[in-house]
A and B are shown apart, each in its own frame.
Chain A
């Protein structure tokens, strides 16, 4: 045991001696969560649009005013000919063009119906869709204000309540995701690199002939990183509470315990990578290339999993980050107890055990 403690001490020395890495280790997650917490949003804001107004009457003017006074759009250009729509899009700045038909106001009064075409640059279909939705709802509001004198019979009025995030802040969606991605990549990368480093530099041999058992070597390597990751997690949680005003509806203790569990899962994954990789380079390529995009895309961090094709929904189940994101959102935003997230917790535990068992099987005590 004394030897083991000595070994862990050595690992801590290694880490603390490399101040540059240490700085990166703590500085980067903080910088990233600040940057992303403020910058990433899938709301629509200040989108540049152009107007092609064939009618130029009081009604279209009123609608245009409504649109330009909303924070979602800024009108950059007034177009006069249909042909100019194409040029506006080609330049790449304009994302949508509103095309009002001739005699808009007259049609609205006489025929009780008037048309406006919402042309969007759908090379980015997600944004195009959102823009169309926002403009349609502005039009609908305007229409309602026109019709407010008409009493309609037989109305079912939906009373919609947005639960868990009443103000529809996108920070609530993204902070758990960013936290997960940072913990996952930092933990998995750190361990996989630090073990392969010993292999590549040849010091692994020395460790293997020492009286320490192989599994003690591995545990000793991981323990310092567990501490570092816990500090990282704590910093991130504090930032999200105090800067982004994320609520913690559930128990802080449970949040901490689940975070530790997830850190251990990631570290176990890192160990597994290090048993496969021979050089630091391949360890890092596996943990960066192999993990970064799948974790960003398949974890439900940005894109809703339920909308993906079935095959991908199935694949997403093997991404540990997916389960952790469900857990954090549950605890922080919904305020659930363990009784609601025991399944996700069990899955994470299962994955951890699986990674560890597999690493032990693959771990070579001898060098080739």
Chain B
């Protein structure tokens, strides 16, 4: 036990002695949590909007006013012809162009129907769909008003049957995406710090040559590994704590469930991540290799965690891969505990899976660590 204590002491000293690393471990993640949580939104607004008005009638002007009044659209420009509009689309100045044709008003009043050209930059397909929806809504609204103004009283009785879909957003009524993103980003940061630090740790001693010195000491394998991992485990939990406090103060993130459960889960989770880091460390010769491998897994874990894009939308085989993604479970658990107030029974499956993975990973790591070089 005393031996472990000394190794832990040594590791802590080494971490805190390196003044260049401290801000990277503590300040950088916190800064990112505060700033980047604001970035992750799929909301579509400030749409860069322009129009071509070939009709110059009062109807066309009223229609444009509708777009101007909508909070979703920024009416940026009016173009005299299609050529300028196309060029503005190409350079990315505008993303939506509507084109009001000649005789727009006349057709609407005489033929009782007219068309409106809409062009949407669809590189971001899902945003384009939403933009199309907004435009339809505005035009429908406008249609209704026109109808009221011009229709004969006798025909006003004909009303189409309406099905009203009434949206109701539970657990997050105002659709505040920060509530959702802050815990998620915190998860990512805790994971990255723990994995990168532990992944680099032993291989660093290997590269510098100090591992040999440690190997000839009477320290046993398990003592060595526990001593190596414990400091990072503490750092990971410390980072979580700072992050949670900031989330509460700055973002007012709801914390409905039990904090104790969250810490129980996180303790097991960080153990899993540290085991992975150690395993990577054992199988590489240089820090560069260790880093590449850690990077590879982290990018996959992050992008397939369901944090930024929904897992249900992935093809079946990809969903199976996500079953092996620890970040996915952590994100689920944090969301369930903080936002939904779930209890023991609800997070038990995730906890068990994470625990099993942690045991396997650490067993592998201990087994693959050889005291000889």
Contacts and interface: CB of A to CB of B under 8 A. Distances in A.
A280 interface: yes
A281 B291 CA distance: 9
A280 B18 CA distance: 12
Nearest to B183: A123
Which of B177, B310, B314, B336 is most buried by chain A, counting CB atoms within 10 A of its CB?
A: B310
Query: How large, as a class, is the contact surface on chain A?
Result: 35 or more
A130 B288 contact: no
A39 B90 contact: no
B36 A120 contact: no
A112 B133 contact: no
Given A157-B114, A288-B295, A46 B139 contact: no
Contacts of A120: 167-170
A129 interface: yes
A40 interface: yes
A297 interface: yes
Given A126-B41, A336-B91, A181 B299 contact: yes
Interface in A88-139: 89-92, 95, 108-109, 112-130, 132-133, 135-137, 139
A45 interface: yes
Contacts of B289: 18, 20-21, 24
A312 B108 contact: no
Interface in B155-177: 155, 158-173, 175-177
B135 interface: yes
Given A108-B163, A290-B24, A333-B123, A284 B132 contact: no
Given A20-B289, A165-B123, A152 B170 contact: no
Given A154-B150, A293-B32, A308-B38, A139 B293 contact: no
B335 interface: yes
A166 B161 contact: no
Contacts of A296: 302-303, 308
A329 B91 CA distance: 11
A290 B313 contact: no
Contacts of B172: 122-123, 125, 128
A159 B295 contact: no
Interface of A: 18, 20-21, 24-25, 28, 31-32, 35-36, 38-48, 63, 89-92, 95, 108-109, 112-130, 132-133, 135-137, 139-140, 142-143, 146-147, 150, 152-170, 172-173, 181, 185, 189-190, 193-194, 197, 200-201, 277-282, 284-286, 288-290, 292-294, 296-298, 302-304, 306-309, 311-312, 315-316, 326, 329-330, 333-334, 336, 340-341
21 contacts: A21-B288, A25-B292, A39-B304, A41-B309, A45-B312, A45-B313, A91-B346, A124-B335, A125-B169, A129-B175, A130-B310, A142-B163, A153-B113, A153-B155, A155-B143, A158-B115, A160-B119, A168-B129, A197-B287, A284-B287, A289-B196
Interface of B: 18, 20-21, 24-25, 28-29, 32, 35-36, 38-48, 63, 87, 89-92, 95, 98, 108-109, 112-130, 132-133, 135-136, 139, 142-143, 146-147, 150-151, 155, 158-173, 175-177, 179-180, 185, 188-189, 192-193, 196-197, 200, 204, 207-208, 284-289, 291-296, 298-300, 302-304, 308-310, 312-315, 318, 321, 332, 335-336, 339-340, 342, 346
